[in-house]
A = this chain, B = another copy of it.
Amino acid sequence: MSHPHPELGSPPPLPEGGFRVTPLGGLGEIGRNMTVFEFDGRLLIVDCGVLFPEEEQPGIDLILPDFSSIRDRLDDIDGIVLTHGHEDHIGGVPYLLREKPDIPLIGSKLTLALIEAKLQEHRIRPYTLEVQEGHRERVGPFDCEFIAVNHSIPDALALAVRTPAGLVVHTGDFKMDQLPLDGRLTDLRAFSRLGEEGIDLLLSDSTNAEVPGFVPPERDISQVLRQVFAGAQKRIIVASFASHVHRIQQILDAAHEYGRRVAFVGRSMVRNMGIARDLGYLKIPAGLVVDVKALGDLPDDEVVLVCTGSQGEPMAALSRMANRDHQIRIVQGDTVILASSLIPGNENAVYRVINGLTRWGANVVHKGNAKVHVSGHASAGELLYFYNICQPSNLMPVHGEWRHLRANAELGALTGVPQDQVVIAEDGVVVDLIEGKAKIVGKVQAGYVYVDGLSVGDVTESALKDRRILGDEGIISVFVVVDSTTGKITGGPHIHSRGSGIDDADFSGVVPRIQEALDRSAQDGVTEVHQLQQLIRRNVGRWVSDNYRRRPMILPVVVEV
């Protein structure tokens, strides 16, 4: 298997007749999926998603792919294919369209409806091309075919691209539920056809490559939901993803069967379910769904609330219910169902919510104690089927952390893809398909771009490093006024702290030390502000370390008058 070399340089120009693949996100992380295809000087983008920050990125709202490698070439982009409507595939689109609003968006009906709703909030009206499975569209030099795939949102598509360089297939996110709720299977006949034609390069979803076996059918959940509904004495509150139309459909069906009414709670849930209903993806029996205000008139055992917050997001309805900070007050006997995955990294937040709800007496049903969730991504067993059907010449695992990419690469090799034609790349690593062989040829910039408040990209790694120190240790600010000619203190030191755990009054102990140090340096004729600040930082730092064994940030400000 080829691994990226840590010291890869810039890629050479793409040779004539070659096809270039540059992943700008999603290889090395779960999220911000974005791949750039290039042929004959033109670009086709597949997905443009966001990554949600973790504790390592404090205070950040969103993480985007770095567009800098294509920024000079925005005019070369013939379109953005969106494989499905999840945030990690469409969430970055508004930020790319800000730079050039007329790049056409290509996707299925539901996908386009979701991105259009999102773009409306950014006041962008996109050019769109609606496609569906079986369609074939020429986009610049890219001959695109769209194939139905099954995932945790309806209407997902894989993409096959034909150019003179060969046939390249990108799966998007997919799994292979053989009994999908909407009957829309991952189209293995189409993939067989493509395989027989000869897939030169397959880019394939790695998310569950480490998980052995097969994902159970979505419809298995309905039995579990029914059991929970049958046993519930009071209200039922279900938290799920606002995009999981099939999951919500099953909840609606169970509510209908057990004579309950349903209200949607939360902006994104109300909006998306509206879109899904209007487009015919969600079937709602007449009178089943009511406004949340109307629920107060119903007895508790006729009520279902469907809300977001299944990942423990602190501002979502469910967290606020757990903290008794929401109009819906959890009481003994309520049932709460978390019909969702637990995304790694969210464990603490989710368990905090579960503990809070339990403390108020709710019966909490979740992935950990009942089968109320199945994944949206193919497990190892499914991937083996898939590779045996596709038999690609070259395989490039996408969508995953290193451990997932590597596990996926191994599955490909097991099914007969030659070891040296399994390419493990990471974000920014450029892979060229030339004469039927995929090869790593260089690397472009593909770091994290942070959205924080209104700004995109202003918050840098160094600001984040400051935040981590501030967050762990707090800050001590030291203000001193010195005479500009003698360097002697004429005011201060004024010392204040936040988050260091040291009382402002206790700093009296370090004042003589600062004064002494500055006196000594004044005698040595030191008057340069920067040097004096360093001196203060060193002295205060040492004093704190000796007395408290801590390392807060020290912000010395010396003003000369």
Taking beta carbons and an 8 Å cutoff, which residues of A are in contact with B? 3, 28, 54-56, 58-59, 210, 344-345, 347-348, 351, 354-356, 358-359, 361, 364, 368-369, 401-403, 406-407, 426, 452-455, 458-460, 463-464, 466-468, 470-475, 477, 479, 481, 491-492, 494, 496, 498-502, 547-550, 553, 555, 557, 559, 561
* Contact status A453-B548, CB under 8 Å: yes
* Contact status B557-A477, CB under 8 Å: yes
* Contact status A491-B559, CB under 8 Å: yes
Asked if A470 meets B453 with Cβ closer than 8 Å, knowing A358-B402, A369-B210, A402-B358, the reply is no
Residues of B contacting A452 in the complex (Cβ-Cβ under 8 angstroms): 501, 548, 550
Asked if A454 meets B549 with Cβ closer than 8 Å, knowing A345-B348, A470-B470, the reply is yes
List 25 A–B pairs whose Cβ atoms lie within 8 Å, in order of A's numbering. A59-B471, A59-B473, A59-B550, A210-B368, A344-B351, A345-B347, A358-B403, A359-B402, A452-B548, A454-B548, A459-B501, A463-B500, A463-B501, A466-B499, A467-B470, A467-B471, A467-B472, A468-B471, A470-B471, A470-B474, A477-B557, A479-B494, A479-B557, A481-B491, A498-B555
Given known contacts A466-B498, A494-B557, what 15 new A-B pairs fall within 8 Å (CB)?
Answer: A3-B359, A58-B471, A59-B472, A351-B401, A355-B402, A355-B403, A358-B402, A358-B403, A452-B548, A453-B548, A467-B470, A467-B471, A467-B472, A471-B472, A481-B481
Residues of B contacting A455 in the complex (Cβ-Cβ under 8 angstroms): 501, 548
Residues of B contacting A28 in the complex (Cβ-Cβ under 8 angstroms): 355
Residues of B contacting A355 in the complex (Cβ-Cβ under 8 angstroms): 28, 401-403
Residues of B contacting A459 in the complex (Cβ-Cβ under 8 angstroms): 501
- Can you name the residue of chain B whose Cβ is closest to the Cβ of A549? B453
Distance between Cα atoms of A466 and B453 in the complex (Å)? 20
Q: Chain copies in the assembly?
A: 2
A496's contact among B54, B492, B555, by CB below 8 Å, is which? B555
Residues of B contacting A477 in the complex (Cβ-Cβ under 8 angstroms): 477, 555, 557
- Residue in A355, A455, A499 whose Cβ sees the most chain B Cβ within 10 Å: A499
* Contact status A3-B361, CB under 8 Å: yes
- Can you name the residue of chain B whose Cβ is closest to the Cβ of A477? B477
Distance between Cα atoms of A553 and B356 in the complex (Å)? 29
* Contact status B59-A494, CB under 8 Å: no
Closest 10 CB pairs of A and B: A471-B471, A453-B549, A59-B472, A459-B501, A466-B499, A470-B470, A467-B499, A355-B402, A453-B550, A358-B402
* Contact status B347-A344, CB under 8 Å: yes
* Contact status B557-A54, CB under 8 Å: no
- Can you name the residue of chain B whose Cβ is closest to the Cβ of A470? B470
Residues of B contacting A464 in the complex (Cβ-Cβ under 8 angstroms): 499
